[in-house]
């Protein structure tokens, strides 16, 4: 048995998310079909994270195992890219130890959320950034964001529908950077709750437009009550940028 690690980029616009769903077009489903054609086996594909419909990836990671001894790394890279649709690309293939699992072996993830802050939306970036029409105070957002860094119970920022054993997570980094008309939120953590990144960004945008204060954000975090937080930012501004394994 052999184990291959895939690093994957995709435009999530026309996908119903990562995970296979009956009757829906998904990234995992496309990879499964391509691997079945390439290997002749019904090969499960394990992903590092289940991105939602409309969410993009620059560095999603997956792995699959196969009994095929005649497959090289190059065969997998070139064969997969020839078989999958053009809104998915395999960036890198590595043969790894059998103990490696894309999700279970991960130690952290980097997500980025891209906001366009301008008077008019971009036609070119309409599916790859969130146009926010209101002026934003970057200093206030950064003050509020600092309160999220560290180990906290993020229940106030978990969407309903995905219960977890614990809602405590460690957010190692939350940086907010402005460049021209765009603002990038970069978040690094040991794990993220369902729609947590988008809920954090939505709340910080409310602070930036003056609808919330940094002091209110601290109270929302402590309250463990999702109804107090800001809206969930839409999926098309979100990118799974990198998965960490050390």
Residue 67: C-alpha distances to residues 4, 40, 99 (Å): 11, 10, 15
Q: 153 catalytic, yes or no?
A: no
Q: For residue 242, what are the contacts with CB-CB under 8 A and spacing of at least 6?
A: 58, 59, 109, 110
- One-character DSSP codes across 151-220: EEE-GGG--TT---S--EEEEEEEEEEEETTEEEEEEEES---TTHHHHHHHHHHHHHTTSS-HHHHHHH
| 11, 52, 175, 225: the active-site residue | 52
Q: For residue 122, what are the contacts with CB-CB under 8 A and spacing of at least 6?
A: 116, 129, 131
Q: For residue 199, what are the contacts with CB-CB under 8 A and spacing of at least 6?
A: 156, 157, 158, 159, 226, 229, 230, 232, 233
Q: Which of 98, 5, 103 lies closest to 47, judged by CA?
A: 103
The catalytic residue positions are 52
């Amino acid at each position: 048995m052999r184990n291959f690690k895939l690093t994957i980029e995709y435009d999530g616009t026309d996908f119903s998310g990562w995970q296979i769903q009956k009757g829906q077009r998904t990234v995992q489903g496309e990879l499964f079909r391509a691997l079945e054609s390439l290997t002749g086996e019904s090969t499960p594909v394990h992903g590092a994270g289940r991105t939602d419909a409309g969410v993009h990836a620059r560095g999603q990671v997956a792995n699959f195992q196969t009994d095929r001894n005649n497959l090289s790394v190059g065969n997998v890279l070139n064969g997969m890219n020839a078989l999958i649709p053009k809104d998915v690309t395999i960036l890198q293939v590595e043969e790894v130890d059998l103990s490696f699992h894309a999700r279970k072996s991960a130690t952290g993830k980097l997500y980025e959320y891209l906001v366009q802050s301008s008077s008019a939306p971009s036609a070119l970036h309409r599916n790859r950034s969130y146009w926010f029409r209101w002026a934003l105070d970057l200093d206030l957002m950064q003050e509020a964001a600092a309160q999220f860094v560290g180990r906290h119970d993020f229940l106030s920022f978990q969407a309903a529908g995905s219960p977890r054993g614990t809602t405590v997570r460690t957010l190692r980094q939350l940086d907010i950077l402005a460049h021209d008309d765009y603002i990038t939120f970069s978040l690094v953590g040991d794990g993220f709750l369902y729609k947590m990144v988008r809920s954090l960004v939505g709340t910080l945008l409310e602070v930036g437009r003056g609808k919330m204060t940094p002091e209110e954000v601290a109270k929302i975090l402590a309250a463990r009550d999702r109804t107090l937080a800001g809206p969930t930012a839409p999926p098309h501004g979100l990118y799974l940028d990198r998965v960490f394994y050390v």
